[in-house]
């Protein structure tokens, strides 16, 4: 199934209002069997901006599409220059208290599974296990010709060697690890090929306009079918890749709860939306459940 490149969504006026009461979330977690679906909003406190929240990156940045990346060598040069610079910041990001709270819920047996739309790997770094990376991971690189996977850190080393002295000042960084650079700053940045076959390298993430692997979608659907409830954290659910699971849960009568400050495209399918800062809300939930959350960043 191809991911729709929906960049913007305008909430209708008849959406139910959000609440500041985390009680329903606490009740759901107390009962166990909760499937978590997380989005970019949980990583903002780690220094990674979201797409659509206040000051979100879509106000200044249009993400690379799969079609542009595969069709144009210049587009790939621009992408890798921006992504290489962004990786220097993105790769140093560490989990925040929200990631650690979710990991603690899992370690206490309250979760049935976890799906993330994020590509930053911070849930795993916080200690969450069995995370389905719906959109892949920036920590891996894939060759579009031979399919070989390799660590991003190895590509970063090769790009450093091929572009000695490349250190422009970016205007900002985006949730996909792409730094804001002008074409002049990109200049004649050198892109390196696959070391095995000489093919085109791409981060192992699902670009806008690209299909989420079918087996990953089906695995996620199985998790939805098995869940007692679904908890959405920090996602606007604007793109269908995440919204479809919320709709699936609602059709099956599985309770959906959302924690997001702003209205989401899934609100009409949810029992409640807790409109509080996410890290604060998750800390409150953990405290009310008597679950300690490590206050130190996990490396």
Q: How far is CA 285 from CA 33, 66, 67, in A?
A: 16, 39, 42
- Whether residue 43 is annotated as binding a ligand: the answer is yes
pLDDT at 6 over 70: no
Tally of structural domains, the chain: 2
Three-class SS of residue 2?
Answer: strand
Lowest-pLDDT range of 14-23, 126-135, 237-246? 14-23
pLDDT at 1 over 60: no
Domain closes at, from 205, 225, 243: 205
- Together in a domain, 69 and 191: yes
Q: Which of 61, 84, 123, 135 is catalytic?
A: 135
Q: Is residue 115 part of a domain?
A: yes
Domain closes at, from 189, 205, 221: 205
pLDDT digits (tens, 9 = 90+) for 55-98: 444 444 577 899 999 999 999 999 999 999 989 878 889 999 99
Q: Is residue 9 part of a domain?
A: no
For residue 194, count other CB atoms closer than 10 A to its CB. Answer: 20
- Together in a domain, 193 and 64: yes
Q: Is residue 4 part of a domain?
A: no
Nearest Cα neighbor of 295 from 99, 157, 135 is 99
- Together in a domain, 290 and 164: no
- Is 135 one of the catalytic residues? yes
pLDDT band at 239 (very low <50, low <70, confident <90, very high): confident
Q: Is residue 198 part of a domain?
A: yes
What are the phi and psi torsion angles at 240 (to 5°)? -65, -20
pLDDT digits (tens, 9 = 90+) for 106-125: 999 999 999 999 999 999 99
- Whether residue 58 is annotated as binding a ligand: the answer is yes
Domain closes at, from 205, 237, 262: 205
pLDDT band at 224 (very low <50, low <70, confident <90, very high): very high
List the structure tokens of 77.
Answer: 């040069």
- Together in a domain, 117 and 200: no
What CATH number corresponds to the domain at position 214?
A: 3.40.50.1220
pLDDT of residue 298: 38
Mean predicted confidence (pLDDT) in 16-25: 92
Domain of 298 in residue numbering reads as 19-48+94-135+209-299
């Amino acid at each position: 199934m191809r991911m729709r490149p929906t960049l913007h969504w305008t909430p209708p006026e008849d959406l139910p209002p959000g609440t500041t009461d985390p009680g329903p979330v606490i009740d759901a977690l107390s009962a166990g069997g909760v499937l978590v679906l997380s989005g970019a909003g949980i990583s903002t406190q780690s220094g990674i901006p979201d797409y659509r929240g206040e000051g979100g990156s879509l106000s200044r940045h249009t993400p690379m599409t799969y079609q542009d990346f595969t069709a144009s060598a210049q587009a790939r040069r621009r992408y890798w220059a921006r992504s290489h610079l962004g990786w220097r910041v993105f790769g140093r990001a560490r989990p925040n208290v929200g990631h650690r709270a979710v990991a603690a819920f899992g370690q206490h047996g309250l979760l049935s599974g976890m799906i993330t739309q994020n590509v930053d790997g911070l849930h795993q770094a916080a200690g969450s296990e069995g995370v389905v990376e719906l959109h892949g991971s920036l920590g891996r690189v894939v060759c579009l010709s031979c399919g070989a996977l390799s660590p991003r850190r190895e590509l970063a080393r090769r790009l450093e060697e091929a572009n000695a002295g490349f250190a422009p000042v970016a205007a900002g960084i985006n949730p996909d690890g792409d730094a804001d650079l002008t074409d002049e700053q990109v200049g004649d940045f050198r892109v390196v090929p696959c070391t095995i076959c000489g093919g085109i390298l791409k981060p192992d993430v699902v670009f806008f306009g690209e299909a989420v692997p079918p087996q990953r979608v089906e695995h996620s659907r199985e998790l939805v079918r098995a869940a007692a409830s679904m908890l959405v954290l920090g996602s606007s659910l604007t793109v269908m890749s995440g919204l479809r699971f919320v709709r699936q849960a609602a059709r099956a009568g599985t309770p959906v709860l959302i924690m997001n400050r702003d209205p989401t495209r899934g609100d009409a399918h949810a029992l409640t939306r807790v409109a509080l800062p996410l890290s604060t809300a998750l800390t409150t939930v953990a405290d009310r459940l008597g679950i300690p959350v490590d206050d130190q960043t996990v490396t």
